[in-house]
Structure 1
Amino acid sequence: MNVLRILTALLALAFLAPTAMAGDYVSTPAPDSFRGIKWGTPLADVPDLLAVNKPGFKNTFFKKNERLNFGDAEITSVAYYFREGKLYRVGVAFSGRANHFLIKDRLISMYGMGRGVGQRYGWMWPDFSVELDYDDDRDGGGLYYTFEGALD
């Protein structure tokens, strides 16, 4: 009888293992846009963007009159990144540990618990990720939304 229980338990684990590995992905839907701009939107279709004119920021843009809050958190800037002329990433910069906590709490309320590694915390979907990081030395951090799918 004990052998039968052990075999049953092993079979159950074999069927549950793929489900456990799939648990790395968030069960809520991935964001399809940032502030109303959908991933994959052509640069020409996004009004009021200005190029970031600094070395290393090719295909990176900002809005002159960007709203500088994320929920209750104060942010310092928002950057819009384009690949093949289409929006695929947004970066939000902030300073201060209090803003870090406010942003993280808001993201957890939207997507559930994420995963943390060192100073990084994030959420993953098959073709999308949200990453939040914080650097104690510079007392600031970043929030990155990255669409990793095909840009139709």
Structure 2
Amino acid sequence: MNKLFALTLLIVLMIAAAPAAASDYVQTPRPDGFRGLAWGTPLSEIVDLVPVQEPGFKNTYFRRDEAKTFGKAEIMSVAYYFHADKLYRVGIAFKGRVNQFFLKDMLMQRYGAGRGIGFRYGWMWPDFSIELNYDNDKDTGSLYYTFEGAQK
């Protein structure tokens, strides 16, 4: 009898947890790309990207004429990351708490409340994530858009 009760309780808990797990995902549509570049775009189709020359940045590119703002935030740089020759991630570097506030506010207006863990804050979809980080000691932060779905 105890095993049957334990099994029934486990099933009830799993059913109750299912809607909570589904609600971890953002309900609005995810971004289809970044600044005119769709996720999965082959590197060979993008003419204005330049490879980052620093060690450790293989398959990482930037635009020489990249806008240094994103929404109301002033940013330092934007990096475009490729896997199997296709765009899958964009990273934005910024300095200062004010810019972190502007970025978080813009993202919350677009995608609703995200989730915070320590110094990280983010939004998740089944095949995509946005992660906002900030380092108080260095007074710098990063924002990553990462496509995790199947590449075309």
Q: Match of 2:142? A: 142
SS at match of 1:62: strand
Q: Match of 1:33? A: 33
Deviation of the 1:12 alpha carbon: 8.8
Between the aligned residues of both structures, percent identity stands at: 61
Gaps of 5+ in 1: 1-10
SS at match of 1:101: helix
Gaps of 5+ in 2: 1-10
SS at match of 2:41: coil
Deviation of the 1:14 alpha carbon: 6.4
Deviation of the 1:36 alpha carbon: 1.2
Q: TM-score, normalised by structure 2?
A: 0.89
Q: Match of 2:8? A: none
Structure 2 counterparts to residues 61-100 of structure 1, below 5 A: 61-100=61-100
Q: Match of 1:120? A: 120
User: CA separation in 2, counterparts of 1:50 and 1:23?
Assistant: 39
SS at match of 1:100: helix
Aligned length: 142
CA-based RMSD of the aligned residues comes to: 1.4
Poorly superposed stretches of 4+, deviation over 4 Å: 11-16
User: CA separation in 1, counterparts of 2:105 and 2:59?
Assistant: 31
